[in-house]
Structure 1
Amino acid sequence: MSLVRCLKSSVSSNILRRQSLAGGVASARAFHVTPARAVVYPNADHKTFKQVTSAKDRITLVDFHADWCGPCHQLAPVIQKLTDEPNKSGKTGLPLDLVKVDTDSDEGQLLGATYKVRALPTVIAFRDGAPISQFVGALNAAGVQKFLDDL
């Protein structure tokens, strides 16, 4: 059975169960949807980069990295963990998104040149389309947390 059929079947049986419990009348239930937090955009292209970094009421961390870079591999899981839900930036309390830019790609090289990335890894924080802070090198978890707290 496909996943869609399985979900439809489950929903249908839940509705029937509610109808029998409520005397034949299905109860209405409202769901509240919150905006996604801690979204990760791996290997972002220029269009994704612009769209995500210019989002309102969010902080976007852009991790400029390369596959051959050892310190980049050390930093990646630290940033990933600290930007996961429910973590937020320190001073503003805004949700964090993570954009990963591979500087070995053509678009990654252009983005790196635009923001004057001279060493890897470089992490730049954006708010409303503008860079607000950055660090260079592989910081430990405490260093990255202090960086996030200062945003």
Structure 2
Amino acid sequence: MSTAQPGEPIHVQSKEHLDELVAEHDVVLVDFHADWCGPCKMLEPTIEEIAADSEAAVLKVDIDELQDLARDAGVRSVPTLQFYAGGEQAKRLIGVQDKGDLLDVIAELS
């Protein structure tokens, strides 16, 4: 169902799509973002590099398109980066993050 190429972030279409992707992959990084968010735009190249450089599945959730999903996930500010390991929520980071720090979290969860 995902339309992204390997090594590219996958744009989440619905809660069911997110659940399916989290279940399918060992380690998942979900980037909750918005088009109007300056820090989200700053973080975008880093997110794309992580999708290309790591084994983790990288998902993007537009909080304006999927307001219910963002609310249910407890996202109150963007960017919010939610990590999953083995289908379970593992860690959450808020704000612009360093690529190395994100790769460290992925390595820790792998």
TM-score bracket for this pair, using the shorter chain length: 0.7 to 0.9
Unaligned runs of 5+ in 1: 1-35, 88-94
Counterpart residue number, 1:50 = 19
Between structures 1 and 2, the one with greater strand share? 2
**Contact 1:39/1:96 (CA < 8 Å) preserved in 2?**
no
TM-score, normalised relative to structure 1: 0.62
Report which structure shows greater RCO (CA 8 Å, sep ≥6).
2
Does residue 128 of structure 1 match 2:97? no
Give the one of 70, 82, 86 matched to 2:38.
70
Over alpha carbons, which structure has the higher Rg? 1
Runs of 4+ aligned residues of structure 1 deviating over 2 Å after TM superposition are 36-40, 140-151
Which consecutive unaligned segments of at least 5 residues does structure 2 have?
none
Structure 2 equivalent of residue 16 of structure 1: none
Rounded to whole Å, the distance in 2 between the matches of 1:48 and 1:81 is 23
Work out the number of aligned pairs and report it: 105
Q: For the aligned residues, what is the CA RMSD?
A: 2.0
- The question of whether the paired residues in 2 share the 8 Å contact of 1:37 and 1:96 is answered with no
**Aligned 1:33-48 pairs, distance under 5 A:** 38=7, 40-48=9-17
Q: Is the 8 A contact 2:56 2:106 kept in 1?
A: no
